Amino acid sequence: MCGIVAYIGHQQAREVLVEGLKRLEYRGYDSSGIAILDSKAYLAKAVGKVGVLEKRVWKDQPRGVVGIAHTRWATHGKPTEANAHPHQDCSGKIFLVHNGIIENYQALKKHLTAAGHKFQSETDTEVLAHLIENAYRGDLGSAVQKALLQVQGTYGIAVLHTAHLDQIIVARRGSPTVLGAGNNESRAASDVSALAQHTDRVVYLEDNEMASENASRGRLNHSEGVAKLGGLESVHDRLLQARHLIIVSCGSSYYAGLFGRYVVETLTDLTVETELASEFRYRKLNLRQNTVVLAISQSGETADTLAALREAKRKGALVLGLVNVVGSTIARETPAGVYTHAGIEVGVASTKSFVSQLTILTLIALLLGRSRDLSIEEGSLLLRGLEKIPDQIREILAQSDDIRKLAQKYCDARHFLYIGRKYQYPVALEGALKLKEIAYIHAEGYAAGEMKHGPIALIDPSFPTMAIVPEDGSYEKIVSNIQEIRAREGRVIAVTSVGNKKLENLADDVIFVPKSHEILTPILTVVPLQLFAYHCAVLRGCDVDKPRNLAKSVTVE
């Protein structure tokens, strides 16, 4: 009888996990262990009571907001550090804790050893880590599912992978496993006593059920068609009074803010402005009553965004943060806000954090809209669409090879034009920025309606256009823009909705994205543009993660 505990959220996982282990210690105390993921993975194990591990963890002070821990009652193998959980695969990327017994572990171990896997322990548990490694093709959830199909016996498991800092997979057969969610964090444990203080919502996992506990899922309240954003609860009354929203940010976060303007205006009655933080900070601010200023920043440290925020605060506005890095300066200097929980973004170019910003801005708009006159039906429709987004993004990522072929065809272009309308206009800007910053190809993002006011003069066979044209309310208008470009012998790549055959005759090349609600489509259309820039960069021999002259966090003006 062992105890497992898992945590993903915004607090430092070490404290939550050690506290959870202490509550589970009655289940076994031969040895214990903990794994916490951050830019580096932390693993510590200790023989004896949880207190021994606790001392080591306090000394090491590992950082990270996602982790798993285990207290062991030995069944297979002595109580040693090698036999203590978490166990790992050969690559060292997978971490797993287990409560239960894998009955066919000897046969599985023999088979895995013959296939070249190296085992570090005498436990039955370790085979699970290697089975998952074998089945892993980029999707941790399906790898765990495939691995568990080969297993006889009982289990409650929690699994981490260093490539999925925003995800814990939990599964159960025969061994009790409880999930708890609340305040933008999720927990799992083999006993409710490890969760009770921290959550008002507890779910008992049934046999053969699996849960993937990422932070955004707990934010969708389907029964009321609204988003649940714990970080905004303390300012709920002031948000009800809000009449004006000003979004301030830089770079990609600014483009996310432009999207935020469209979506908040559509779902609420607020007036919305989106401003470059570097300009906003030097304007004479005549803020009206009931103005909310939202700062968007991946790093939470951008100097201009921070200065704009401080100025708005000084002038009496309610200031909020939408940031990715937990505990960053913007997070600390705002009385309320929302974390994007995109996980650590290592590359300089904003990619997954941009996608998460669009997602959270939609949730914020939904929250503001539902406390005004947005109907439950409209809210639920958006939530149902949001739930499909992860799988739809996976479908787009599966087209990576086709997009690489397109990049091969176009990566020698010296200039590129990106066009979109309404919700797709910020996507055009972001796609062009990606191509500039990582592939060093000059690219202009334009609102398609502006073509005739100047940029169409540039069009010739050497100047291709990326047109973002899903089948939404602006579709016919942007098709006309494409026709105008083709009439001037311009080459066009169209990003459109799957099943739209009409563009195949008009555009030179077409990239298809799954159909979604008009408001949510930018979360999808930006992904092929990120892939296109990535492949162009690789083909041109650029350093994708560390593009020249740039820094991940711009902490000077």
Q: State the Cα angle at 245 between 241 and 248, rounded to 5°.
A: 145
220 sits in which H/E element: strand 220-221
Residue 433 CB, nearest approach to ligand AGP (Å): 6
Nearest to 426 by CA among 320, 522, 535: 522
Residue 300 CB, nearest approach to ligand AGP (Å): 7
Q: For residue 473, report the phi and psi dihedrals to the nearest 5 degrees.
A: -60, -20
Q: Is the dihedral of CA 18, 19, 23, 24 positive or negative?
A: negative
Residue 27 CB, nearest approach to ligand AGP (Å): 43
Nearest to 359 by CA among 381, 390, 394: 390
> Is the Cβ of residue 306 or residue 459 nearer to ligand AGP in the bound state?
306
Q: Which residue is nearest to ligand AGP (CB)?
A: 251
Residue 437 CB, nearest approach to ligand AGP (Å): 6
DSSP E strands: which ranges in 306-414? 318-323, 336-339
Nearest to 185 by CA among 216, 221, 227: 216
> Is the Cβ of residue 53 or residue 250 nearer to ligand AGP in the bound state?
250
Nearest to 3 by CA among 99, 80, 90, 88: 99
Q: Check if 2 is active-site.
A: yes
Binding site for ligand AGP (CB under 6 A): 250-253, 297-299, 302, 305, 348-350, 437, 550, 553-554
Cβ atoms 322, 274 nearer than 8 A: no
Cβ atoms 66, 165 nearer than 8 A: yes
> Is the Cβ of residue 32 or residue 299 nearer to ligand AGP in the bound state?
299
Q: Check if 422 is active-site.
A: no
Give 175's contacts (C-beta < 8 A, 6+ positions apart): 99, 100, 154, 155, 156, 190
Residue 241 CB, nearest approach to ligand AGP (Å): 28
Amino acid present at 16: V
Give 107's contacts (C-beta < 8 A, 6+ positions apart): none
> Is the Cβ of residue 256 or residue 485 nearer to ligand AGP in the bound state?
256
> Is the Cβ of residue 216 or residue 297 nearer to ligand AGP in the bound state?
297
> Is the Cβ of residue 297 or residue 496 nearer to ligand AGP in the bound state?
297
> Is the Cβ of residue 186 or residue 305 nearer to ligand AGP in the bound state?
305
Q: State the Cα angle at 477 between 474 and 482, rounded to 5°.
A: 120
Q: Which residue in 2, 250, 411, 536 is the catalytic one? A: 2
Q: Over the range 325-334, which residues count as b (16 or more CB within 10 Å of their CB) and which as e? A: bbebbbbebb
> Is the Cβ of residue 225 or residue 231 nearer to ligand AGP in the bound state?
231
Cβ atoms 207, 100 nearer than 8 A: no
Question: DSSP class of residue 272?
Answer: E
Q: State the Cα angle at 202 between 196 and 208, rounded to 5°.
A: 125
> Is the Cβ of residue 184 or residue 299 nearer to ligand AGP in the bound state?
299
Question: 477-480: long-range contacts (C-beta < 8 A, 24 or more apart)?
Answer: 477/421, 477/448, 477/449, 478/419, 478/420, 478/421, 478/424, 478/448, 479/503, 479/506
Give 366's contacts (C-beta < 8 A, 6+ positions apart): 225, 226, 227, 267, 374, 379, 382, 383
Q: In angstroms, how far is the first alpha carbon of the chain from the final one?
A: 57
Q: Which residue in 146, 313, 388, 552 is the catalytic one? A: 552
For 452, the token pair is 């005739």
> Is the Cβ of residue 325 or residue 467 nearer to ligand AGP in the bound state?
325
Cβ atoms 491, 466 nearer than 8 A: no
Q: Could you give the CA distance from residue 83 to residue 77 in angstroms, rounded to a whole number? A: 6
Q: Could you give the CA distance from residue 529 to residue 434 in angstroms, rounded to a whole number? A: 8
- Residues with catalytic function: 2, 552
